[in-house]
């Protein structure tokens, strides 16, 4: 499948590498391609600059937000949640129309320091997933994977032999079925992909970030998740 990834941060790179390994065609979209290509700055975690990473993943294409959206039969939003709607507007509604958009971002607000809260207007009675769906009514938004560290998103077997939960929500059942197949390729078993209904489920999964951050603050290791027991 041809997949466009909006965003070139740690999450986007992790997903892109995995998709390449799975033989999907991948184009990553960035705000300014020439800046991204020429920048020699390490990322915020001290990792090598993007262009070095791209050399070792040289089958991955790099384009503008719009080019990546136009390229993909399926689009993944891996931007910072604060910038997601703007980035997707730049990607262009017509490049997203009729397609599945997998939203794995979280609307975190770091403006008051750590730990972040959720952005005003995008919590409790709204969510980033819903906001994107409202902004792009001709796109099928599916929210998933946003409740865990990116290393687990594409390799659930890292903990508990993969036996932990990944929520999925969205208004279009067929779109969710297709996204589940992609999740299966990442290693997620159907029994651990828990469908919580329409896109208002994004409120619930984005609301998991505060407890995720608290647990991470104690364990100092992102390789954890929750398992539903009953």
**Residue 159 near its own copies by CB under 8 A:** yes
Q: Does 227 bind its own copies (CB under 8 A)?
A: yes
Query: Judged by CB, which is closer to its own copies: 36, or 164?
Result: 164
The conformation of residue 153, written as its DSSP 8-state character, comes to H
For residues 189 and 204, which CB has a smaller minimum distance to its own copies in the complex? Answer: 204
Per residue in 114-124, is it b (16+ CB within 10 Å) or e — as a string?
Answer: eebbbbeebbe
**Binding window for its own copies (CB under 8 A); candidates: 55-63, 80-88, 89-97, 161-169:** 161-169
Does 207 bind its own copies (CB under 8 A)? Our answer is: yes
Distances (CA, A) of 105 to 23, 165, 191, 207, 219: 24, 17, 23, 12, 22
Cα separation of 67 and 115, whole Å? 34
Count other C-beta atoms under 10 Å from residue 61's C-beta: 17
Residue 194 contacts its own copies per CB under 8 A: yes
Residues 6+ apart with CB under 8 A from 154: 14, 15, 17, 18, 186, 187
Q: Between residue 113 and residue 152, which ones bind its own copies under the rule CB under 8 A?
A: 117-118, 123-125
**Residue with Cβ nearer its own copies (22 or 208):** 208
16 versus 108: smaller Cβ distance to its own copies: 108
Nearer of residues 56 and 112 to its own copies, judged by Cβ: 112
Q: Would you list the DSSP string of 30-84?
A: ES-HHHHHH-----TTSPPPHHHHHHHTTTSEEEEHHHHHHH-SEEEE-S-TTTH
Nearer to its own copies, 34 or 112 (CB): 112
**Within a 13 Å sphere around the CA of 160, how many CA atoms are in the beta-carbon half?**
14
**Residue of the chain from 163, 171, 187, 189 that contacts its own copies (CB under 8 A):** 163
> Which bin fits 2, alpha (ψ -120 to 50), beta or left (φ > 0)?
beta
Out of 48, 137, 173, 217, the residue judged to bind its own copies by CB under 8 A: 217
What interhelical angle do 128-135 and 84-91 show, nearest 10? 20
| Residue 225 interacting with its own copies (CB under 8 A) | yes
User: Does residue 196 bind its own copies (CB under 8 A)?
Assistant: yes
- Among 32, 160, 166, 168, the residue binding its own copies under the rule CB under 8 A is 160
Q: Which residues bind its own copies (CB under 8 A)?
A: 112, 117-118, 123-125, 159-160, 163-165, 167, 194-197, 201, 203-205, 207-211, 213-215, 217-219, 221, 223-230
């Amino acid at each position: 499948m041809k997949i466009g990834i909006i965003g070139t941060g740690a999450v986007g790179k992790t997903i892109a590498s995995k998709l390449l390994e799975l033989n999907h065609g991948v184009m990553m979209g960035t705000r300014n391609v020439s800046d991204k290509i020429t920048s020699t700055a390490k990322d915020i975690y001290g990792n090598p600059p993007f262009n070095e990473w791209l050399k070792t993943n040289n089958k991955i294409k790099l384009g503008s937000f719009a080019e990546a959206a136009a390229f993909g039969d399926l689009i993944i939003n891996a931007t910072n949640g604060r910038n997601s709607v703007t980035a997707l507007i730049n990607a262009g509604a017509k490049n997203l129309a009729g397609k599945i958009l997998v939203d794995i971002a979280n609307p975190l607000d770091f403006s008051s320091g750590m730990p972040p809260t959720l952005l005003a207007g995008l919590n409790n009675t709204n969510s980033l997933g819903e906001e994107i769906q409202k902004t792009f009514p001709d796109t099928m938004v599916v929210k998933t994977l946003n409740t865990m560290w990116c290393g687990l998103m594409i390799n659930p077997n890292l903990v508990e032999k993969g036996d932990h939960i990944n929520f999925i929500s969205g208004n279009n059942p067929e779109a969710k079925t297709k996204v589940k197949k992609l999740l299966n390729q990442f290693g997620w078993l159907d029994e651990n992909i828990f469908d919580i209904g329409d896109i208002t489920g994004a409120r619930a999964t984005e609301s998991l970030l505060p407890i995720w951050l608290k647990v991470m603050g104690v364990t100092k290791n992102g390789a954890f998740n929750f398992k539903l027991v009953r």
